[in-house]
Amino acid sequence: MEPTRSRSWSALALAGLLGAAGVTHFAKPKPYDAIIPRALPGKPRTWTYASGVAEVALAVAVAAPRTRGLGALLAAGFFTGVFPANVKMAYDYRTRSPRAKAVAYGRLPLQVPLILWALRVRRSTA
């Protein structure tokens, strides 16, 4: 695969991931509501929907070549910003089944490759 095509594929894959994740915030909001940090003002469902809208908007921005660089940079920031919710999930799941704990704890280190992926997409558009 040629470098330009590879970069486009990576950006579109990131956009697909963001879009799919955003849609799940509306299709299945309860699991997201449960991991919203209590320190945030307002209702968890509001934050769930807001983060879903943000992910869909980021997906659109990353998918479009014209806005890809900014969208990818914002996606990296978003992945960093939602990390506290993943920490809360891991904490809340500490007494659950080994499988549930593995999923919750597994989300924590996954944030790093997501952030790096978004930054690579950003660099590839510069």
Task: Enter the tokens of residue 109.
Answer: 């280190």
The pLDDT assigned to 72 comes to: 98
Q: Is the separation of the CB atoms in 85 and 36 below 8 Å?
A: yes
Within 8 A by CB and 6+ apart from 71, the residues are: 15, 58, 60, 61, 62, 63, 64
The model's pTM is 0.87
Per-residue pLDDT of 60-107, as tens digits, reads 999 999 999 999 999 999 999 999 888 998 999 999 999 999 989 998
